[in-house]
Amino acid sequence: MSELLAGILAKALLMALEALVVRLFLHWTRTMRYRTAPLPSA
């Protein structure tokens, strides 16, 4: 029973970590895009 609980907890932790990494990556790419936005790209 405890092993199952530990597995579920580990899976939830991994999902949360993945979501955090994705959020950070999206935020970083957005900031990079904004930094390079003022350059003439028309």
| 12 vs 19: CA distance, rounded Å | 11
- Res. 36 pLDDT band, cuts 50 70 90: confident
Query: What percentage of the chain has pLDDT greater than the value 70?
Result: 86
Say what the pLDDT of residue 32 is. 85
Query: How far is the first Cα of the chain from the last one, in angstroms, to the nearest whole number?
Result: 61
**Domain spans in the chain, listed from the N-terminal domain onward:** 1-36
Q: Model pTM?
A: 0.61
**pLDDT, tens only, 8-34:** 999 999 999 999 999 999 999 998 887
CA–CA separation, 22 vs 34, rounded Å? Answer: 18
